[in-house]
Amino acid sequence: MLEYELLELAYMLKPVRSLILKSVGNIPCVGALVRGSEIPLPRWLAQALESQGFVEIQEGSISLQDLFKTKFSQQQQREQLLKLEDFFYFVARDLIKTLEKQAKERSDVYLMTTTSRAQRDLIELFNIRFGYVLKAVRLGKLSVVEKSLSVEERIIAKKVLELVDRWMELVRDGKHE
């Protein structure tokens, strides 16, 4: 799906605040990285440098506790959607992939179990929130919830709205594009 690929690209290009752990010579389009400084780097570069021990990403990530807390808070808010940051699902996916890798490398059963729970919680959070989106589309009130949606959810919501509008046109007029 083109929208997903473009969203993934936007996610990887978005700058994240990074703490320089080791000085690095001149990097094209970035310059020299000086130990102890904090600078915004495109996520793809920050991740590559972090994997080599040169930087530590300071923002744009979440912990397991953040994921569990977000799901729990959303469950408690029965009448409204909590505001999710853009790329929330991508960040959560990256967390889960990192934990899976660590669990396999260490053969850590507890970490594997925790990672599985995180995957279930992320899916459950999406299902709860998607229910709100469907209700808003059905009632013609998408604009009311749109400000609380992550960029991923907004794209899905607009696709669902397009599909519903096409279906209604077909039912009403018997015509389709």
- pLDDT, tens only, 12-40: 999 999 999 999 888 888 888 999 999 99
Strand, coil or helix: 141? coil
- pLDDT, tens only, 144-163: 999 999 999 999 999 999 99
Q: The tokens of 9 are what?
A: 């690209």
Domains of the chain: residue spans and CATH: 2-57 (3.40.5), 64-173 (1.20.58.2050)
Distances (CA, A) of 113 to 72, 110, 120, 122, 174: 19, 5, 11, 14, 51
User: Mean pLDDT, the chain, as a whole number?
Assistant: 92
CB-based contacts of 150, cutoff 8 Å, min separation 6: 84, 85, 86, 87, 88, 89
Q: What is the pTM of this model?
A: 0.85
Could you tell me where the DSSP H helices lie in the chain? Answer: 2-13, 43-51, 64-76, 88-106, 109-139, 142-146, 151-173
Q: Give the pLDDT of residue 27.
A: 86
- Which candidate, 11, 14, 17, places its Cα nearest to that of 50? 17
pLDDT mean over 89-115: 93
pLDDT at 175 over 70: no
